[in-house]
A and B are shown apart, each in its own frame.
Chain A
Amino acid sequence: MAEFYLDETLVFLQMTGTREEMLREMAENLVKENLVEASFVSGIIEREKEYPTGLPTASSISVAIPHTDIEHVKKNAISIALLQEPAAFQVMGEASMVTPVSIIFMLAMQQSHAQLRLLRDLMNFFQDETTLQVLYESKTKEDVVKLIDRKLSLSASKGGDR
C-alpha cells in the first residue's frame, strides 16, 4: 500500500494570499521539508493553470487538489491549507467555471496508480459535508492531522533520510 506523509509542518491555518501565492507557499514548504524536488513548485503552478483542480462539493466548502508529475516528488505526502477567505479556483475540467475554495489538499505523489486507496478515501471525504466542515473549523494543526489521519489511510513516517 502506498503511504502518505502528513504532519503538522505540512498544515497551514488561516492561509491568505492569491491562489498562486498560496500554492507557492505550500509547495516551497514541501521542498523545505525535503519531500519534493525544487521543480515541484513550478510544476504545481503550471499544472494548475493548464489543468485546474478546483472541486465544488455537496457542501458550501469547495476544495482544490493541486498535484503534478511524479518526477518532481521524493516521497508521497499531503499538505493541507485552510484558507482564511475562500479563493477562486477554476473548476476541474471546465473552461470558465470558478469555485470558491476553502481548503487546499496539495498532493505529492511519487508513483502512479499506487495510491488508489488514499485517493478514494479523499474523494469520500469530500462527499462528507459534516467532516469537511469540522476540518475547516479546526483550530490547531494537530486537530487537522488527527482528523485526516482518522479519515484517510495515511500511515507513513518520514523515514530516516532527513
Chain B
Amino acid sequence: MAKKQVLVACGAGIATSTVVNSAIEEMAKEHKIDVNLIQIKIAEVNAYVDTADLLVTTAMVKTSYPFPVINARSFLTGIGLEETKDQILDELKK
C-alpha cells in the first residue's frame, strides 16, 4: 500500500489543524498505517492538488478537489468523532 499524503488544514494553519494533525498521527500509528501528514492553511491546498490523497479540514471548502474532503470539527467538539475517525481510516486503508 502506497503511503498516503494527507493534508490537514484550517484557516490559520496553526490552531485547530494542530489538534487534528496530532489526532490523525496517533490514529495512524495505532493502526500501523504509514501516512505523510502535511499541516497547512486551507488557502495552501492548491499547491498539493496533484499529490494529495485526502484533505481533512476544520475550514469550509469552497473548491472541489480531485481527492475526498473530510470535515474535522468533531476532533474539536467530540461530537461525531468516531464516525469521522472511521471515515479517515477508510480513506487511509484504500
Query: Which A positions have Cβ atoms within 8 angstroms of B?
Result: 47, 50-51, 53, 55-58, 65, 67-70, 91-95, 107, 109, 112-113, 115-116, 119-120, 123, 126-127
A113 and B57 form a contact (CB under 8 A): no
B22 lies within 8 A of chain A by Cβ: yes
CB atoms of B14 and A112 under 8 A apart: yes
- Asked if A55 and B73 sit within 8 Å, CB to CB, the answer is yes
| B71 part of interface (Cβ distance < 8 Å) | yes
B-side contacts of A57, CB under 8 Å:
77-79
Residues of B at the A interface (CB closer than 8 Å) are 10-16, 18-19, 22, 39, 42, 57-60, 71-73, 75-79
Other than A67-B14, A91-B73, A93-B72, give 19 A-B pairs with Cβ distance below 8 A.
Answer: A51-B12, A55-B76, A57-B79, A58-B77, A58-B79, A65-B15, A67-B12, A92-B73, A93-B58, A94-B60, A109-B15, A112-B18, A113-B39, A115-B15, A116-B19, A123-B76, A126-B77, A126-B78, A127-B78
User: Mind listing 16 A-B residue pairs with CB under 8 Å?
Assistant: A47-B11, A51-B60, A57-B78, A57-B79, A58-B77, A67-B12, A67-B14, A92-B59, A92-B73, A92-B76, A93-B71, A93-B73, A109-B14, A123-B19, A123-B75, A123-B77
Query: Residue of B at shortest CB range from A110?
Result: B14
B18 to A: closest C-beta gap in Å: 5
Chain A residues near B71 (CB-CB < 8 A): 93
- Residues on the A chain within 8 Å of B15, using CB: 65, 67, 107, 109, 115, 119
CB neighbours of A70 from chain B (8 A): 12, 14
Which A residues are CB-close (under 8 A) to B78? 57-58, 123, 126-127
B47 to chain A, nearest CB (A): 17
Q: Are B59 and A93 in contact (CB under 8 A)?
A: yes
Closest chain B residue to A120, Cβ basis: B19
The answer, among B11, B13, B75, B77, for a CB contact under 8 Å with A50, is B11
Contact present for A120 and B22 (CB under 8 Å): yes
Instruction: Decide if B18 touches A51 in the complex (CB within 8 Å).
Output: no
What residues of A have a CB within 8 angstroms of the CB of B39 in the complex? 113
